[in-house]
Structure 1
């Protein structure tokens, strides 16, 4: 268990960066047992497994959160993806792919605002705009 706790804390700190202590304090204030479990089991045993790199796993988590309308979690994990090495461009491309699965409906509108809050608004080139229009059948 101590090995999982150490591994979990290292990954947690990497994902949350300079806000790590603040997030940890908030979690412990709300549920000390859950916060402890999350570090050891969630981050240590599950999320830090060697099969995927932290960056890849962060992108998977962001993709899973996009249609769920969970703004605080999505915001934190977008920032976590940046902290683990993803670029804003990669994250916007991920958003584009996932939002097409949901036909850019209500499931993804809130996510788009969250992406804009964290990454800033994206400006499309003429080529990208035309490709997007073709994809949508316009």
Structure 2
């Protein structure tokens, strides 16, 4: 299996097959290169490595995306973190940690995004 195929498989495992189908429907001549890069490099090469487990990768991504204030990507990676075994309490602690190092506005936005995902999944009242 090449890196692109491996990336698509990992992406499907993390985000679900519906996510991959939606990405495929939105693929066009303009965004094809960045989509392929994401599948091949991000997921097919980096996420496929054995050095750290997927849950740890998810924790790192949540912290980085909070610091970078990337709510759309954060939402996807919170979904992935839940798939990878992160609990609601662990997500809360990760985001509290980011408040200290990334600032309250970034962490506040990350909490908002996380709450939306958790409510959608029926994990919050």
Per the normalisation by structure 1, the TM-score is 0.75
Question: How many angstroms does 1:19 deviate by?
Answer: 2.3
Q: Would you say 1:43 and 2:43 are equivalent positions?
A: yes
Q: Would you say 1:8 and 2:2 are equivalent positions?
A: no
Structure 2, unaligned runs of 5 or more: none
Larger radius of gyration: 1
Question: How many angstroms does 1:93 deviate by?
Answer: 1.1
Aligned length: 120
Question: How many angstroms does 1:101 deviate by?
Answer: 2.0
Question: How many angstroms does 1:57 deviate by?
Answer: 0.6
The 2-side partners of 1:101 and 1:76 are apart by 22
The 2-side partners of 1:100 and 1:9 are apart by 35
Query: In the alignment, is the contact (CA less than 8 A) between 1:67 and 1:111 conserved in 2?
Result: no
Match of 1:119 in 2: 118
Cα RMSD, aligned residues only: 2.2
The 1-side partners of 2:82 and 2:110 are apart by 16
Q: 1:94 to 1:24 in 2, by over 3 A?
A: farther
Structure 1, unaligned runs of 5 or more: 124-138
Query: In the alignment, is the contact (CA less than 8 A) between 2:66 and 2:102 conserved in 1?
Result: no
Query: In the alignment, is the contact (CA less than 8 A) between 1:14 and 1:84 conserved in 2?
Result: no
Per the normalisation by structure 2, the TM-score is 0.82
The 2-side partners of 1:80 and 1:24 are apart by 18
The 2-side partners of 1:20 and 1:88 are apart by 25
The 2-side partners of 1:102 and 1:42 are apart by 24
